[in-house]
Structure 1
Amino acid sequence: MAIQTPASTKGSCPFSGAAPANAGQGGCPVSDPEAMARAFDAFEGPYQLDPAEALRWSRDQLPVFYSPKLGYWVVTRYDDIKAVFRDNILFSPRNVLEKITPATPEAMEILKSYDYAMNRTMVNEDEPAHMERRRALLDHFLPENLEQQQDMVRRLTRAKMDEFIDAGRVDLVEAMLYEVPLLVALHFLGVPEDEIATLKTFSVAHSVNTWGKPSDEKQIEVAHDVGRFWQYAGEVIEKMRAQPEGTGWMHHTIRMNEKIPEVVTDSYVHSMMMAIIVAAHETTSLASANMFKTLLSHRGAWDDICADPSLIPNAVEECLRYAGSIVAWRRQATAPTELNGVALPEGAKLLIVQASGNQDERHFEDGDTFDIYRDNAVDHLTFGYGAHQCMGKNIGRMEMRIFLEEMTRRLPHLRLAEQEFTYMPNTSFRGPDALWVEWDPALNPERESPEVKDVTRHFPVGAPSRQTIARKARVVEVRQEAEGILGLTLEDAHGRPLPKWSAGAHVELCVGDFDRKYSLCGAPDTGTYQVAILREEQGRGGSRHIHETIRAGDEIKLRGPSNLFRLDEGASHYVLVAGGIGITPILAMADRLKALGKPYELHYAGRSKRTMAFLDRVAADHGAALTLYADDEGRFMDLPGLVEALPEGGQIYSCGPQGLLTALEDLTADAPEGTYHFEHFSTANSGLDPEKEQAFEAELTDSGMVLQVPADTTLLDAILAAGIDVACDCREGLCGSCEVAVTEGEIDHRDMVLTRAERSANRRMMSCVSRAKNGGRIKLSL
Structure 2
Amino acid sequence: MKTPATSCPIDHAALKAGACPVSPRAAAFDPFEDAYQQDPPEYVRWAREEEPVFFSPKLGYWVITRYDDIKAVFRDNITFSPSIALEKIIPTSDEANAVLASYSYAMNRTLVNEDEPAHMARRRVLMEPFTPEALRHHEPMVRRLAREYVDRFIDDGRADLVDQMLWEVPLTVALHFLGIPEEDMDLLRQYSIAHTVNTWGRPKPEEQVRVAHAVGNFWQLAGKILDKMRKDPSGPGWMKYGIRKQADYPEVVTDSYLHSMMMAGIVAAHETTANATANALKLLLQHPSAWREICEDPSLIPNAVEECLRHNGSVPAWRRLVTRDVKIGGIDIPAGSKLLMVMASANHDQRHFEDADALDIRRDNSSDHLTFGYGSHQCMGKNLARMEMQIFLEELSRRLPHMRLCEQTFTYLPNTSFRGPEHLWVEWDPLQNPERRNRALLAHALPVRIGEPSAHAASRSVVVESVTRLTDDILRLRLKSPDGRALPRWMPGAHIDVECGHPDVSRQYSLCGDPDDAQTLEIAVLRDPHSRGGSGWIHDNVRPGDRLKIRGPRNHFRFDESARRAIFIAGGIGITPIIAMARRARALGIDYELHYSGRSRRSMACLDELSALHGDRLRIYAGDEGRRADYAALLASPADGTRIYACGPTRLLEALEHCCAAWPEDALRIEHFHATRGSLDPAKERAFEVELKDSGIVVQVPPDQTLLAALRGANIDVQSDCGEGLCGSCEVRVLAGRIDHRDVVLTRAERDANNKMMACCSRAACGRLVLEL
Equivalent residue for 1:710?
703
Deviations 1:497-536 (A, max 9, x none): 5457799976434467762254699779x96455676989
Equivalent residue for 1:248?
237
Cα drift, residue 177 of structure 1: 0.7
- Residue 390 of structure 1 pairs with residue 341 of structure 2: no
User: Cα–Cα, structure 1 residues 103 and 691, in superposed 2: closer, same or farther, change >3 Å?
Assistant: closer
CA contact (8 A) 2:316 2:342 kept: yes
Cα drift, residue 288 of structure 1: 1.4
Equivalent residue for 1:316?
305
Long gaps (5+) in structure 2: 1-21, 569-575, 597-605, 621-632, 648-652
Deviations 1:545-584 (A, max 9, x none): 999998876643321355778999xxxx966876547789
Equivalent residue for 2:448?
459
User: Cα–Cα, structure 1 residues 452 and 721, in superposed 2: closer, same or farther, change >3 Å?
Assistant: same
3-state DSSP class of the match of 1:123? coil
- TM-score (ref. length: structure 1): 0.75
Cα drift, residue 198 of structure 1: 2.0
Letter in 2 for 1:288: T
CA contact (8 A) 1:240 1:246 kept: no
Equivalent residue for 1:142?
131
Equivalent residue for 2:319?
330
User: Cα–Cα, structure 1 residues 642 and 36, in superposed 2: closer, same or farther, change >3 Å?
Assistant: farther
Q: How many angstroms apart in 2 are the aligned matches of 1:636 and 1:676? A: 11
CA contact (8 A) 2:638 2:662 kept: no
Q: How many angstroms apart in 2 are the aligned matches of 1:35 and 1:602? A: 54
Q: How many angstroms apart in 2 are the aligned matches of 1:361 and 1:629? A: 42
Equivalent residue for 1:25?
none
- Residue 726 of structure 1 pairs with residue 718 of structure 2: yes
CA contact (8 A) 1:700 1:780 kept: yes
Residue in structure 1 matching 2:224, options 235, 245, 264: 235
User: Cα–Cα, structure 1 residues 88 and 486, in superposed 2: closer, same or farther, change >3 Å?
Assistant: farther
CA contact (8 A) 2:495 2:508 kept: no
Residue in structure 1 matching 2:64, options 74, 98, 110: 74
Q: How many angstroms apart in 1 are the aligned matches of 2:583 and 2:79? A: 40
3-state DSSP class of the match of 1:148? helix
Equivalent residue for 2:253?
264
Cα drift, residue 629 of structure 1: 8.2
Deviations 1:119-157 (A, max 9, x none): 211112122211111122222222333222223223333
CA contact (8 A) 1:734 1:753 kept: yes
CA contact (8 A) 2:99 2:212 kept: yes
Cα drift, residue 185 of structure 1: 0.9
3-state DSSP class of the match of 1:182? helix
- Pair member with larger Rg: 2
- Residue 558 of structure 1 pairs with residue 547 of structure 2: no
Q: How many angstroms apart in 1 are the aligned matches of 2:449 and 2:242? A: 26
The more displaced of 218-227 and 426-435 is: 218-227
CA contact (8 A) 2:202 2:415 kept: yes
Letter in 1 for 2:709: D
Equivalent residue for 2:196?
207
The more displaced of 503-512 and 490-499 is: 503-512
Q: How many angstroms apart in 2 are the aligned matches of 1:89 and 1:188? A: 31
- Residue 170 of structure 1 pairs with residue 166 of structure 2: no
Letter in 2 for 1:66: F
Q: How many angstroms apart in 2 are the aligned matches of 1:351 and 1:421? A: 25
Q: How many angstroms apart in 1 are the aligned matches of 2:394 and 2:611? A: 50
3-state DSSP class of the match of 1:560? strand
Letter in 1 for 2:64: V
CA contact (8 A) 2:707 2:763 kept: yes
Q: How many angstroms apart in 2 are the aligned matches of 1:612 and 1:217? A: 84
Equivalent residue for 2:17?
none
Equivalent residue for 1:94?
83
Q: How many angstroms apart in 1 are the aligned matches of 2:290 and 2:508? A: 25
Q: How many angstroms apart in 2 are the aligned matches of 1:681 and 1:67? A: 52
Equivalent residue for 2:681?
690
Q: How many angstroms apart in 1 are the aligned matches of 2:618 and 2:636? A: 9
Letter in 2 for 1:279: A
Cα drift, residue 286 of structure 1: 0.7
Cα drift, residue 448 of structure 1: 4.8
Cα drift, residue 719 of structure 1: 2.4
User: Cα–Cα, structure 1 residues 360 and 113, in superposed 2: closer, same or farther, change >3 Å?
Assistant: same
3-state DSSP class of the match of 2:721? coil
- Residue 298 of structure 1 pairs with residue 287 of structure 2: yes
Equivalent residue for 2:211?
222
Residue in structure 1 matching 2:402, options 406, 413, 418: 413
The more displaced of 67-76 and 115-124 is: 67-76
- After TM superposition, the structure 1 = structure 2 runs for residues 248-647 of structure 1, keeping only pairs within 5 Å, are 248-338=237-327, 344-360=333-349, 363-364=352-353, 366-374=355-363, 376-448=365-437, 452-453=441-442, 457-459=446-448, 461-463=450-452, 469-474=458-463, 490-498=479-487, 507-510=496-499, 515-516=507-508, 518=510, 528=519, 555-562=547-554, 579-580=567-568, 606-607=594-595, 641-642=640-641
Q: How many angstroms apart in 2 are the aligned matches of 1:347 and 1:676? A: 52
Q: How many angstroms apart in 2 are the aligned matches of 1:762 and 1:169? A: 58
Cα drift, residue 744 of structure 1: 4.8
The more displaced of 50-59 and 291-300 is: 50-59
Q: How many angstroms apart in 2 are the aligned matches of 1:147 and 1:590? A: 51
Long gaps (5+) in structure 1: 1-32, 595-599, 619-627, 644-652, 670-674
Equivalent residue for 2:630?
none
The more displaced of 359-368 and 744-753 is: 359-368
CA contact (8 A) 1:577 1:655 kept: no
> How high is the sequence identity, in percent, across the aligned residues?
49
The size of the alignment, in residue pairs, is: 711
Q: How many angstroms apart in 2 are the aligned matches of 1:139 and 1:546? A: 42
Q: How many angstroms apart in 1 are the aligned matches of 2:273 and 2:735? A: 34
Q: How many angstroms apart in 1 are the aligned matches of 2:412 and 2:299? A: 32
Letter in 1 for 2:729: S
CA contact (8 A) 2:509 2:525 kept: no
Letter in 1 for 2:689: A
Cα drift, residue 438 of structure 1: 1.6
Cα drift, residue 602 of structure 1: 6.1
Deviations 1:250-291 (A, max 9, x none): 122233334432111222112111111100100111111122
Equivalent residue for 2:146?
157
User: Cα–Cα, structure 1 residues 460 and 408, in superposed 2: closer, same or farther, change >3 Å?
Assistant: same
Residue in structure 2 matching 1:123, options 91, 95, 112: 112
The more displaced of 151-160 and 107-116 is: 107-116
Q: How many angstroms apart in 2 are the aligned matches of 1:217 and 1:510? A: 61
CA contact (8 A) 1:160 1:176 kept: yes
Letter in 2 for 1:733: G
The more displaced of 186-195 and 35-44 is: 35-44
User: Cα–Cα, structure 1 residues 709 and 640, in superposed 2: closer, same or farther, change >3 Å?
Assistant: same
Letter in 1 for 2:718: V
CA contact (8 A) 1:470 1:557 kept: yes
CA contact (8 A) 2:456 2:551 kept: no
Letter in 2 for 1:159: E
Deviations 1:422-462 (A, max 9, x none): 22233322211111112222333444555655655553643
Aligned-residue CA RMSD in angstroms? 5.0
CA contact (8 A) 2:157 2:427 kept: yes
Q: How many angstroms apart in 1 are the aligned matches of 2:292 and 2:40? A: 27
